[in-house]
Amino acid sequence: MSAVEHTASAPASQAADAPAPRLTSFSHGGGCGCKIAPGVLSQLLQGAARLPVPPQLLVGLDTADDAAVYRIDDQHALVATTDFFMPIVDDPDDFGRIAAANALSDIYAMGASPILALAIVAMPIDRLPLEVIRRILQGGESVCASAGVPIAGGHTIDSVEPIYGLVAIGLAHPAHIRRNDEARPGDRLVLGKPLGVGIASAALRKDRLSPQGYAAMIASATQLNVSGPALARLPGVHAMTDITGFGLLGHVLEMCRGARVRARISSASVPRLEGTDERLAEGFVTGASARNWAAYGHEVLLPNAAPESLRALLTDPQTSGGLLVACDPASVDEVLAILHRDGFAAACEIGEVLAGEPGVEVR
């Protein structure tokens, strides 16, 4: 496929003066909150056929990692991923930007640099003005341009709900690939971005998110996790992933299960988007948060009498969330220096890795 294909043509006419419907009104869930619940996904993958795995496939289905990795030669590994979802915001440009940043994040989280992308576009073209769709695509293109990545093709279909995302391809040295399953007891956990994107989106859906809160949410969700390759080159960085739809606890648990370790999280240290605690107090929580807890809550030890708001924060689905880094204690300062240099002002140490059965303790 050399160019963007399509399976339906545009409607012959659209009312020029008709107001465009809210993008979020088309979707039953937005952003990474659209993800199939972790428990359901696990059941689906249990029945997947296990085909022969070539030795060049360095990362595949076995650890629920962020992307697949295929070794080309001793100096080059190809990193491939795909990510797409329904609108989390109503502004078309912002939707496109968030979706593109989120897709590229999986490449960075493996320690790779993106080299090209393909667009995934599904739109209700009989109900959504073409100019709105065009702005979604332009938003994605702008983020890819800032990452130095061309959108080299893609595929479009006519759909009931708007869906946009990317297939992203990257390159890395095989020795610099950072999986999510190689954390070690004694490692420290560093988080690159604050939590609260899902909580902010819940407030937005009810028209209760302030302009300042919206700006903070967009700034976080469109910030590219460009620190990934530099972090992966540090010998003291053992494992890396990004926080998305399964929430902080879900992605820490993936790291723990793969490495057969436990994690301890300091809830007071976890950074939050400004206004997140107030939104939680007002009851703004996504449905995906409850689904996340139902799937993995039995593996989490919360403090006695922990408020519901703490559980909601730690299970909040992040769209284009921050990098989670497991590194030896001597490397924490260098990891934070790289993140702060790249503009991740909220980056901080949030916990540690322990020996023991997989699980997470929250204090």
Task: Please give the Cα distance from 321 to 191 (Å, whole number).
Answer: 9
Task: Please give the Cα distance from 239 to 189 (Å, whole number).
Answer: 10
- Amino acid (1-letter code) at residue 223: Q
From the list 124, 286, 282, 308, the residue with the least C-alpha distance to 205 is: 286
Can you name the residues that pair with 323 across neighbouring β-strands? 242
Bridge pairing between strands 113-123 and 163-172: antiparallel
Residues contacting 233, CB < 8 A, separation 6+: 111, 176
Q: Which of 32, 34, 144, 327 is catalytic?
A: 32
CB 285 within 8 A of CB 202: yes
In the numeric block, the tokens 């793969």 are attached to 258
Collapsing DSSP states into helix, strand and coil, what is residue 20? coil
Task: Please give the Cα distance from 256 to 354 (Å, whole number).
Answer: 9
Q: Cα dist. 22→92, 95, 181 in Å?
A: 9, 12, 40
Q: Is-catalytic flag, 34?
A: no
User: What Rg do the C-alpha atoms of the chain give, in angstroms?
Assistant: 20
Residues with catalytic function: 32
